[in-house]
Amino acid sequence: MAGPMMPSLAPRVIDPLWFTVDKPCDDAELQSKLESEYHQWLHNVGSKDAHLIPIGKTLEIEKYQDSVLICLNEVCTSLDSDCICTWSCMQDRKERKSRKSTRIA
């Protein structure tokens, strides 16, 4: 018999640590969370130094090449002042639009 002065050294019959080991979890939810974190990390790595200009190119050349690619892919459809295209690129787009409208008529 263990009194208040001498604690019992025998383990308890029911140890709460054994019952908290296998907590229920949703594997699909955990996987989607990990995938979204991975895609976010991948996007951050890819866009980390995107604003830097490559060695041997100037800022004007880089902007012109970007605007030509954007206009050739016709992603940028606005001809407003907030368009990122250069002036010559916008003129080319206006000419292409006028050629399309004359073909339709």
- pLDDT of 51 reads 78
Range of the domain at 46: 27-102
Domain membership flag for residue 18 = no
Domain membership flag for residue 93 = yes
- pLDDT of 93 reads 64
Domain membership flag for residue 68 = yes
How many domains does the chain contain in total? 1
Domain membership flag for residue 75 = yes
Q: What is the pLDDT of residues 50-100, one digit of tens each?
A: 778 778 777 676 666 655 554 444 445 544 444 555 555 666 666 766 666
Angle at the Cα of 38 from the Cα atoms of 33 and 41, rounded to 5 degrees: 125
Residues 6+ apart with CB under 8 A from 79: 90, 93, 94
pTM metric for this prediction: 0.35
